[in-house]
Structure formats: C-alpha cells, structure tokens
Amino acid sequence: MKEKAGRRPKEKALAANGRSLWLVLFVIAMAVSIIVMDLTIVDVSMPAIMTDLHLGFASVEWVVDLYSLVFASLLITFGRIADHIGRKKMMIIGLAVFLAGSIVAAAAPSLAPLLVGRFVQGVGGAMILPTTLSSINTIFKGKYRIVAFATYGSSIAVAAGIAPLIGGLFTTYSTWRWVFWFDVIVAAVVGLLVWYAVPDSLGEKIKGMFDFGGFVLSTLGFVFVVYGLIEGQNYGWWRPKAGTRPWAAGLSRIPWVFLAGIVALVLFVILEVILEDRGKSTLMSVKLFKYRSFSFGNIVSVANAVGEYGLVFLLPLYLQNILNLSAIETGYVLCVMASGAFISGGFATPFVKYASAKAVISTGFLFEAGSMAGFYFTIRPGHGAIEGLIYLWLALYGVGLGFASAQLTSVIMIDVPDIKAGQGSSVKSTISQLSSALAIAVIGIIFVDFLWATLPPKVDELHLPDQFSKEIDSVVIGSSGSAIPELEGSREYQSAPASFQKEFKTKINSGFTEGISNTLGVDSLILLGGGIVSWILPNEKKRRKAAKEGEAAKVVKAEADTALDL
C-alpha cells in the first residue's frame, strides 16, 4: 500500500540489535525493579523469619542489612568491569548470581545459609544495577531519552513503594520463603528477556593492570561506612551503649569504623586522581564531578533519598504503634505513595517537553516538601480521624517522588560520555545506596533525640515512681515505639483503674506522636533544601537548543569557507 502524498513514513523505535526500544526499556525496568525491591521486601517478613528459624532480632537484622552492605560496596567495581567486558554480559551474569542467591535464601534451614544467600544476592545486585543505568544512557538518545529515564526513575520509585506490600502478602498468606522464590522466578524471566532484547554496549576498556588498589580501598571504605550507618543505633554513635564494650579512648566502635572508612575512601580518591593523571585505568573517573549536572544532581539525589526513606521509616511506626494497624494494612497504606509515583511518572514526559527536566525535578520537590509539612501538621497529639489526610499526603508525596525520580537520573547522567557511562552509573548508584542508609541513620538519630525531649515530660505527668518512669521511657524509646502495645497489654496495665489506663495511653501516645511529628518537620526542611539546590542544575532544554544552534553555525561557516575557496 502506497504512502499518502505528503505523509512521512512513521519512524520505528528500534535498538541497535533491531529490537523494539520499548521492549528494551521494559526489560531494563524489570531488572532494576527486582534489585530495588529486595532492599525493602524482606523488612515485613522479619517477625516470621525470627519465629520460623528461632532467631533473635539482632540476628535477623543482618538478613536485611547484609544485602545492602555487599550491594553498596561493590557497585563501583562491577560497573567498571561491565564497561570492559560488556554491559549485557554483566547484567546476565548478575541475574544468574542473584537467582542462585535467592535459591539458597529460599531453602535456608537456618541463619547461616540464609545470610550466605543474602550475601550472594548482594553481589548479583551490584552487578545488575550499574549496567541498567549505563545501558539506558547509551541506548536511548534524543526524544527517546526523556521517556526512558522517566520510566527508569518511576520504576525505582514504584518498586520501593510496593515491595513491603508484596513481602507482606507472601508472609501473611503463604510463607516468608516465597519472598525469595519470587526473586528466583522474576530473575529467570528477566535474564531470558535481557539475552533476547537488550543490545550489548561497551565503555572505556581497562588499559594494562586492573585497579586492584582502588578495588580494595573502595570496598573497604564502603563496607566500613555502611556498617557504621547500620550498626550505629546498636553500639552507640559516640559513647558505647549499655551492654556493649568500648573500643580505644572509651569510645564506641562506630566512630573508629567511620574513621577507617573515611580514610580508605580518601586514599581511594587520591589513588584514582594519580592513576587518571598518568593515563592509567581507574575504577572511578574523578573528573566526572567536574560536570555540574553530575555533582549537584547527586547532592539533590541525597536529599530525595533522605526524604523518601525517612518517611518510609517513620510512618509505619505511627500507623502500627499508635493507629494499631497490622503490617499488611500498613503495606496497603504505603501503596498509595507508589500509586502517586506511578501516575506522576507517566505525566513527567509531557511535562519535560513543555518545560524542562529541571522544572519537573523542582516541582517534585515542592510536592514532597509540601506533603511532608502536611504530615507535620496532621500527625499531632490529640488529632482524630486523620486517616483520610494521611492518604492525601501520601498520594501527594508519591506524585512528587514520581516527578523528581523520573528525571533526576537523566539530569545526573546528561553530561557523562557514553564511554564513561558505566563509571558514572556505578558512582550514582553507590551514592543512592549510601543515601538510603544515611537517611535511616540520620532520621533515626533525630527521632530518638526528639523522643527523649517529648516522651519523659509526658510520662512524668503520670506521677509514677521515678524508677518506673525511667523504665517506661527507655523501653518505649529503645524499641522505637513497638513496646507501646506490649505495655498496654501487660498485667499491671490491665489491672489498673480505667481512668489511669486512659491517661497512660493518652500521655504515651502523645509523647511518641509529637516525636514523630517533629522529625517529619525536619524531613520537610531537608526536602525543601533539596528543592532549592535543584535550581542550580543545568537547564538541559536550553543546552540542547544552544547545541543545535552551534551545529547550525558550524554548517553555515563551513559552507561559507567552501564558497570562499571556490
């Protein structure tokens, strides 16, 4: 059939291997989603794992934390190796390793093999994540780039939001082991799709010797820093907590671990600068930070992570300890945020075309900071019937998260050359993972400090003996509120007069709620700061226009030079 006169043939969106770009994008989004989900999907399964394997809380915590520790520590190394051997190859190898770790974890009869499985999953995840981002950066250009990064960012936001719900559903209606069998099935399917659909790409080849010094220093540095962020609450950030032994100078182990990590990372950066100046291969190109989009974009990314993970950490404490929702009900509530992110992620592409990626990011931060402020004014002592407002603020926060996440990665990577896309993506991914751990640590410290300021005065109003009051303060604060239902279910509480029970419940809930509210207020200020910094990001729309005008000027000049020669 002949084309109608004046109508141009429709351009087909194909990758270098002839596959549909949209199939390639779908497969990469699936790959990144399974990795992000595993950062939080196990959280709600922890009580079931503790019961089934007869574990204490300190042991089962490492089922969650070990994945993050290994994952964050190896991102830079595997991102660099992927540049050398091919990103598709590394993605497939990573999915196979992740699948193997999932099988070990799913079938684990005790703690040791479960931890081995999580360790292997972390290694596989570190192979996969940087290759997904560098592949997007290399494969998608021009008008397709906006859609690709919007889909990529939205996939991460939605995956983080629905992971607790999926974990809760498996744990409630089946067994916690299906959290890992689910990983096996998805990893196998995605691996086959990657082999079929995703084209391979290479980055900067490793010249001469592999940077073993950089590998050792970066791995040790990130292991120490992430370990410190994870264990700070347990051992004490400065002075040792009760029941733990001090290290040198009477300090907790955490300051010394942080010091070792910082020293290793500083030496790593110095080594990379020296190697790069000598023209030798490095794990990380320090020159990436000369790009304003890369350096300031990562700062904005940190603020975004603090806001998101701070909310995901704090809100369940309020929903379960004060509103008495179950874990599965809490998962349903948090799904509202994922729904908002999914919807706004779809609108981000036309928004970028109308305005710019920078404007979309700043708008996202406006929604995030505004909704977090809404939580601050809503979750207050004595406020009743606030469930509807919680849904509203979660939805609006999700909208902001979708806008910000959809285009932030694109702006960070916009100036990174294709040949250094693997290094850029691995550095960006490492910063994101450190930000999530940092967010929970920082928000946790602020929250505990606020609780010590708000809860003891409320407990003092009950006029209990000093010893009882101090014990209540310590138990409630030390458990982040999870001991509140236990206190209300105790024999002493149940045998007390009804008037005292009511007053006790009111005072405890009031002090705890005020601590959460104040912390969310600080979180909103952090997001507001991130939104302000986002205005420093370059306007990629003006840059592209200037680049086109520059190319046109070069053509005109070349034609003029040719005419003069004639």
> Tell me: the pLDDT tens digits for 296-348?
888 998 888 888 878 878 888 888 888 888 767 777 887 888 788 878 877 77
- Dihedral angle of Cα 224, 39, 244, 248, to the nearest 10 degrees: 10
Domain 14-206 superfamily per CATH? MFS general substrate transporter like domains (1.20.1250.20)
pLDDT at 441 over 80: no
- The DSSP output letter for 483 is T
Q: Which residue is associated with the tokens 């003092």?
A: 460
- Backbone CA torsion sign across 62, 65, 70, 71: positive
Report residue 9's pLDDT band, with 50, 70 and 90 as the boundaries: very low
CA atoms in the 13 A half-sphere facing the CB of 256: 11
pLDDT at 364 over 70: yes
First to last CA, the chain: 46
pLDDT at 381 over 80: no
CA atoms in the 13 A half-sphere facing the CB of 2: 3
Q: Specify whether the CB–CB gap between 271 and 213 falls below 8 A.
A: yes
Report residue 525's pLDDT band, with 50, 70 and 90 as the boundaries: very high
pLDDT value, residue 554 = 47
Q: Mind listing the pLDDT tens digit for each residue in 77-98?
A: 998 899 889 999 999 999 999 9
pLDDT value, residue 11 = 54
Nearest to 251 by CA among 240, 262, 261: 240
Report residue 553's pLDDT band, with 50, 70 and 90 as the boundaries: very low
pLDDT at 504 over 90: no
Report residue 113's pLDDT band, with 50, 70 and 90 as the boundaries: very high
Report residue 557's pLDDT band, with 50, 70 and 90 as the boundaries: very low
Q: Specify whether the CB–CB gap between 400 and 366 falls below 8 A.
A: yes
Of 30-34, 323-327, 409-413, 555-559, the one with minimum mean pLDDT is 555-559
pLDDT value, residue 564 = 38
Higher pLDDT, 116 or 140: 116
pLDDT value, residue 322 = 84
Q: Specify whether the CB–CB gap between 346 and 154 falls below 8 A.
A: yes
Report residue 565's pLDDT band, with 50, 70 and 90 as the boundaries: very low
Of 69-78, 184-193, 256-265, the one with minimum mean pLDDT is 69-78
Higher pLDDT, 471 or 489: 471
Q: Mind listing the pLDDT tens digit for each residue in 152-185?
A: 877 877 787 788 788 878 887 888 899 999 999 9
The residue-averaged pLDDT of 48-60 equals 78
* pTM to 2 decimal places: 0.77
- Measured CA to CA, the distance from residue 301 to residue 249 in angstroms comes to 36
pLDDT value, residue 122 = 92
pLDDT value, residue 244 = 84
pLDDT value, residue 550 = 54
Kindly give, in sequence order, each residue whose CB lies less than 8 Å from that of residue 523, ignoring residues fewer than 6 positions away.
306, 307, 310, 311, 314, 372, 443
pLDDT at 552 over 60: no
Report residue 1's pLDDT band, with 50, 70 and 90 as the boundaries: very low
The residue-averaged pLDDT of 213-228 equals 91
Q: Specify whether the CB–CB gap between 306 and 523 falls below 8 A.
A: yes
Share of the chain above pLDDT 90, in %: 26
Give the max Cα distance, the chain: 105
Containing H/E element for 444? helix 421-460
What length does the chain have?
Answer: 566
- Measured CA to CA, the distance from residue 361 to residue 405 in angstroms comes to 8
Mean pLDDT score of the chain: 83
pLDDT at 558 over 50: no
Higher pLDDT, 497 or 17: 497
Domain ranges of the chain: 14-206, 207-280
Three-state DSSP class for residue 20: strand
- Measured CA to CA, the distance from residue 189 to residue 196 in angstroms comes to 11
- Measured CA to CA, the distance from residue 518 to residue 446 in angstroms comes to 9
pLDDT at 537 over 80: yes
pLDDT at 8 over 50: no
pLDDT at 264 over 90: yes
CB atoms within 10 A of CB 1: 3
pLDDT at 43 over 50: yes
Report residue 433's pLDDT band, with 50, 70 and 90 as the boundaries: confident
Containing H/E element for 162? helix 143-173
Q: At what angle do helices 292-321 and 143-173 cross, to 10 degrees?
A: 20
- The DSSP output letter for 286 is G
pLDDT at 560 over 60: no
Q: Angle at Cα 411 formed by Cα 548 and Cα 372, nearest 5°?
A: 140
The residue-averaged pLDDT of 502-508 equals 87
Of 11-15, 280-284, 305-309, 412-416, the one with minimum mean pLDDT is 11-15
Q: Specify whether the CB–CB gap between 233 and 246 falls below 8 A.
A: no
